[in-house]
């Protein structure tokens, strides 16, 4: 299935989910602006896309810095009409009980996961083409709790709230705003969480319902759907990609 066109901005493009999604979106016709704090990671994603015959530009930006966020929005506009935005950059933060979570650790998670998402929405929504779409990366942790993950869970609940507000405010312009809510996704972030949980003696809420974790490609498929024409009347939705973990 193709059906994508124009420029799609992907933040956190050097990570597992970001790279898988940027690659899929490019294969379906989008021109990608791959944004990441790590320049080599952004360029690696762009190179994968170009090597496959797609169009991609890499850019370094700190999503917590308003000036740098405005800069990636301006760069995207230079590349062509902006039709999509995968507002994906995020961090897992520290695993610790509430009473042991430091203010510094809490603030560091919120800076990326909430401030970064807010700044991205603020910069991209005004320049997004009518009929365009935004997908924020929330989490199953944005729909329920998880022991030892107070900062992360609170930040992803905030992303859910921002998604709903942005969806309501943008609907009249024909712009849709949704979120994906993955559970544990195989890759670097889950490797870090597994190690932290083991060290802290914190167990996940429950086992995976379908006997495996999500893959970056599982999430990429959901994002591509939400950014594409087949979801043209889907707005303000939190799409769970969790194998049924939050079903009950």
Confirm whether 164 is domain-assigned.
Answer: yes
pLDDT along the chain (248 residues), means of 10: 88 98 99 99 99 98 99 98 98 90 97 99 97 97 91 98 99 98 79 70 68 90 98 98 87
Q: Which of 106, 110, 118, 152 is catalytic?
A: 152
What per-residue confidence (pLDDT) applies to 195? 76
Confirm whether 244 is domain-assigned.
Answer: no
Clarify whether 225 is annotated catalytic. no
Confirm whether 240 is domain-assigned.
Answer: no
Kindly report the CATH number assigned to the domain that includes residue 136: 3.40.50.720
Confirm whether 242 is domain-assigned.
Answer: no
Domain that holds residue 43: 7-234
Number of domains in the chain: 1
Confirm whether 194 is domain-assigned.
Answer: yes
Confirm whether 245 is domain-assigned.
Answer: no
What per-residue confidence (pLDDT) applies to 132? 98
Confirm whether 241 is domain-assigned.
Answer: no
Confirm whether 180 is domain-assigned.
Answer: yes
- Whether the Cβ atoms of residue 182 and residue 219 lie closer than 8 Å to each other: yes
């Amino acid at each position: 299935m193709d059906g994508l066109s124009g420029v799609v901005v992907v933040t956190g493009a050097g990570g597992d989910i970001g790279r898988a999604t940027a690659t899929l979106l490019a294969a379906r016709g989008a021109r990608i602006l791959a944004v990441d704090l790590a320049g080599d990671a952004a360029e690696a994603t762009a190179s994968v896309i170009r090597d496959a015959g797609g169009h991609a530009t890499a850019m370094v930006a700190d999503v917590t810095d308003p000036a740098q966020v405005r800069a990636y929005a301006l760069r995207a506009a230079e590349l062509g009409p902006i039709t999509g935005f995968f507002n994906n950059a995020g961090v897992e933060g520290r695993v610790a009980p509430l009473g042991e979570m430091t203010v510094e650790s809490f603030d560091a998670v919120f800076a990326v996961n909430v401030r970064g998402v807010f700044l991205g929405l603020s910069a991209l929504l005004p320049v997004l083409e009518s009929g365009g779409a935004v997908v924020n990366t929330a989490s199953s942790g944005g729909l329920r709790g998880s022991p030892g993950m107070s900062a992360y869970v609170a930040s992803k609940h905030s992303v859910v709230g921002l998604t709903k507000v942005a969806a309501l405010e943008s609907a009249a312009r024909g712009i849709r705003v949704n979120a994906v809510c993955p559970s544990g996704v195989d890759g670097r972030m889950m490797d870090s969480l597994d190690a932290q949980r083991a060290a802290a003696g914190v167990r996940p809420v429950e086992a995976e319902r379908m006997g495996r974790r999500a893959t970056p490609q599982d999430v990429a498929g959901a994002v591509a759907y939400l950014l594409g024409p087949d979801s043209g009347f889907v707005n303000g939705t939190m799409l769970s990609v969790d194998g049924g973990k939050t079903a009950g």
